[in-house]
Structure 1
Amino acid sequence: MRKTPLVVLVAGLVAGLAGIGVMPREPRLTAQVTGDADLAAATRDAVDDPGGYRGLAVALIDGGQIRTAGLGDRDRRGNPVEPDTAFEVGSVPKVLTGMLLAQRVGTGAVRPDDTLGATWPTVTGAAREVTLAELASHRSGLPRVGLDSVTDWLRLFWANVAAGNPYAGQDVDRVRAAADGHAPGDGRGEVNYSNLGMALLGQALAADAGADYPELLDRELLTPLGMTSTVQATSADALPAERAEGAGASGRSPDAWIGAGYAPAGIGYWSTAADLARLVAATADGTAPGADARDPRFDDTERARIGYGWFTTRYGDREITWHNGATSGFHSYVGFDRATGRGVVVLGNTDRGVEPIGLRLLGVPREQAGSASPGLPTWVGIGIALLFTFIGGLSLLGTALRAGADRLTVLSGAVWALVYPALGHQLGDWSAIPGWLWPLGLATSGAGLAAAVRRWRELPVNGAARPWLRVVSVVGSLTLAAALTVALLS
């Protein structure tokens, strides 16, 4: 038995050394530059820390001129970001849906106080009473997304674990059904961000116009503005060629978000810095269809108001009109200062926020622009990384060395000693803590596995007072571990 500690230590050391080769490495903005060199330099100066970014596409509108630049890599292969590289833009198209409302109001097709039910008669639930203006300004009292069942919640959880598409299967019929299943809450009349509300607005406008949403958007806004590179992907096969590849804090590439029902909320839309610059420039100077959607109409916070989709926030003596977007692997920001006509577009292909970069390029002082936010709250990302990286190995060590252990519990612990570090690798925020901690966790798992193998022969198969309960518990544990492994590898 005196050799056991040495065997355990050696196994841990080998596992830790092996883990160095596959330890998580956060994306990092490289030195590659395309397009306008001065704009690229100004953008790089606006970035506090290149860690957490992989590539950025930027456009600056100033004095009626549009300048564009690309920084860093668009994918893991090191291909450069070009000014016309397509990025997933998340919620930025919500401003297009707001502008569709303003444009349709301007032609007399609808009125702001028309109800959802009057505009889209197939909506029959309590949500039919909310107005188009309430939907456009996030004041409908409807929830952020339409989760109607335990299955919906499990689907959302699974998408987060597997870096999958949380909007899979959310077609127009599902969105309409969500409207029938949700009533406006107590927050109606207050600004509470709702993807469901904006999706309902766009689908209602499309139904009223006798078209589908992408068709209406193309006809009324994208084509007049010359935005030929702003497209909706309806399947993985329809994603733009030579697009940017998204990444999380560990470098993992998530699936694209696709869901036709939520298209008016931005789901499935890809665009370029140059294309969105056309939108920003025309909205800022008032020439875009539905440009008055930018006008603040309702209070949000003490220094922020909202129009139809567009937010306006005060920074000292400046007012910036803006919107941002985020998916599991991309961040985006569009904004402009109406007083100066200066506008900006910033697109990034990681889960690190780009809003401070855009604000600084608009001239907002650094201390007011704030700092970039990670995909998860920092303490959550750190907690997941540390807990999952070490808990499996430590738990197995404790199980394998304690009196009363049996083979079934050791087997379950051994499987989780591998699954937990894999979860920590993929889900933890490795831009907030050093990646070399992960091999240490793997070393702990290796030591635990060595201790388990060493004791295996002397352990009973099932030492529980109720053997059937132990079998059920272990089978359930192994089934969950297998499912999570499939999710991580998919």
Structure 2
Amino acid sequence: MSELHGENVGDRMAGERSAGDAEVHGDARLFEQVRKALGRGHPVFAAATVSAGEAAVASRGASLAADFEIGSVSKGITGLLYVDALNRGELRPDTVLGDRLPLGDCPAAAVTLASLSRHSSGLPRLPRQSGTLRRTLALMLRGANPYGETLAELLTQARTVSLSVPHPRYSNFGFELLGHAVAAGAGLRFRDLLRERLAVPLGLDSVYAPATAAEVRPTAVAGRSRSGRVMQPWTGEAVAPAGDIRASITDMAKLVQALLGGSGQDGAGTEGGAPGLAALEPVANFAGPAARIGAGWMTLETKGRTVTWHNGGTGGFRSWVGLDRKAGTGVVLSTATAAPVDRHGFRLLADLPPAP
């Protein structure tokens, strides 16, 4: 894995700079490109580009080591861990939830992990639960965390959920259960699975999944709504595999390097590659033939390129990760404002020249 560029950029950056009252770090050229693309709606952001195995990183309003909520990009990471568990022989695609989690004979117990990994299980987007209106109002009025359930509470919800006819339907609930089933198959909690099989092997020290606000590290960035309201961190043991992971831009760049560094054909990867790389390989249509899905990761044909990607959004953050695997390029955008960044990510990736 190549060294990151950006923390020591020589004659392009003389220490710390400022844009208005915000500190600016990293690669000057990338910073200016992202600043112009995002405009004024994102006062705190971080970005990374990867090409030819090398990465450039930049940020405004937060250090390069600060951790952002990556939202549903967590599902892409859970997909990697799922495929890695398949490669280890801990699971099979036809393993059902009831084989790994104590669900009894409820309908959800018969759902296969493979169907969960591609959002085709028949599970709803979110489970029905008491206090939904109260949580929604607390989010809107106070910026409160709408999640926070424990694994035990998640399993209680799963035991009472009704299934629809299986078809492609995005499900946070499904990925929560998938991640905890994968962890149970390894005899671990999800947060420990994340650390032992992804964060430690790849040297991603900032990658973690806090179960409570008290576990959010001092390096964490505070997120804001589009109107500027400070939002509480989105934390929870249950939601971790679907949307609770936090990471710095430096470590997200390393992850993209690892995703581009392996073969991606057999899931094992090559030296320097991420675990479970076959998660990137599309296996089914999703929202029509133009969009396909692997294990969590979406693939889209756009302007002559095949882009493998996932986005994320929480109360105070938006994120986007995209790869052009043929060109050997990748982009990460993380922003501490709940305003979309998808189109900016696609554009930045399209502007990267292919690796020679």
Structure 1 length-normalised TM:
0.63
**2:33 equivalent to 1:54:** no
Distance 1:62 1:363 in 2: 12
Match 2:247 to one of 240, 265, 271: 271
Matched, 1:341 2:328: yes
Distance 2:46 2:40 in 1: 16
The match for 1:200 among 158, 177, 196 is 177
Report matched runs for 1:208-247 at 5 Å.
Answer: 208-247=185-224
Deviations 1:89-141 (A, max 9, x none): 11111111111110111111111111111222435310111110111111111
2:120 maps to: 139
Asked if 1 retains the 8 angstrom alpha-carbon contact of 2:279 and 2:296, the reply is yes
- Count of equivalent residues: 323
Superposition pairs of residues 27-42 of structure 1, within 5 angstroms: 32-42=23-33
Within 5 A, what are the aligned runs for 1:61-80? 61-71=50-60, 73=61
After TM superposition, give the deviation of residue 196 of structure 1 in Å: 0.6
Report the AA paired with residue 261 of structure 2. D
2:42–2:337 CA contact under 8 A, matched in 1 = yes
Give the Cα–Cα distance (whole angstroms) in 2 for the partners of residues 323 and 177 of structure 1: 29
The structure 1 residue matched to 2:283, chosen from 286, 297, 301, is 297
- 3-state DSSP class of the match of 1:296? coil
1:133-182 Cα distance to aligned partner (Å, 9 max, x none): 11111111111111233x334333333332101003x1101111111111
Amino acid of the structure 2 residue aligned with 1:173: A
**Given the superposition, is the C-alpha separation of residues 235 and 316 from structure 1 closer, same or farther in structure 2, using an over 3 Å criterion?**
same
TM superposition shift of 1:309: 1.0
The letter for the 2-side match of 1:96 is I
Contact map agreement 1:138 1:194 (CA 8 A) in 2: yes
Native 8 Å contact 1:116 1:204 kept in 2: yes
| Residue 311 in structure 1 maps to residue 292 in structure 2 | no
Which residue of 103, 125, 141 maps to 1:161?
141
| Separation (CA, whole Å) in 1 of partners of 2:125 and 2:204 | 28
8 Å contact kept, 2:73–2:310: yes
Say which structure, 1 or 2, has more relative contact order (CA 8 Å, 6+ apart): 2
Amino acid corresponding to residue 338 of structure 1 in structure 2: R
In 1, distance between residues paired with 2:106 and 2:220? 40
Structure with greater helix percent:
1
Whichever residue aligns with residue 283 of structure 1, its letter is: L
Residue 244 to residue 309, structure 1, CA distance change in 2 (3 Å): same
| Pairing 1:107-118 to 2, within 5 Å after superposition | 107-118=88-99
> In the alignment, is the contact (CA less than 8 A) between 2:308 and 2:325 conserved in 1?
yes
- 1:356 equivalent in structure 2: 343
Aligned residues: percent identity? 37
Q: Name stretches of at least 5 consecutive residues in structure 2 with no aligned partner.
A: 1-18, 263-272
CA RMSD of aligned residues (A): 1.9
Cα distance in 1 for residues equivalent to 2:23 and 2:302: 32
1:130–1:184 contact (8 Å) kept in structure 2: no
1:345 partner SS: strand
Q: CA deviation at 1:240?
A: 2.0
CA distance in 2, matches of 1:175, 1:121: 11
User: What does residue 79 of structure 2 align with?
Assistant: 98
Q: Which amino acid aligns with 1:299?
A: N
Is contact 1:29-1:53 (8 Å) kept?
A: no
Alignment-derived partner of residue 327 in structure 1:
314
Q: CA deviation at 1:197?
A: 0.2
- The structure richer in strand per residue is 2
- Larger Rg belongs to: 1
**Once the two structures are superposed, what CA deviation does each residue of 1:181-216 show, in whole Å capped at 9, x if it has no partner?**
112212x1x221111100000111112221111111
Map 1:444-483 → 2, pairs under 5 A: none
Contact preservation (8 Å) 1:116, 1:128: yes
- The amino acid across from 1:183 in the alignment is S
* Distance in structure 2 (CA, Å) of the matches to 1:174 and 1:153: 18
Partner residue in 2 for 1:182: 161
In structure 2, do the counterparts of structure 1 residues 30 and 133 end up closer, same or farther at CA, with 3 Å as the change threshold?
A: farther
1:469 equivalent in structure 2: none
Over 3 Å counting, the alpha-carbon distance change for 1:102 and 1:349 in structure 2 is: same
Q: Which amino acid is 2:179 matched to?
A: G
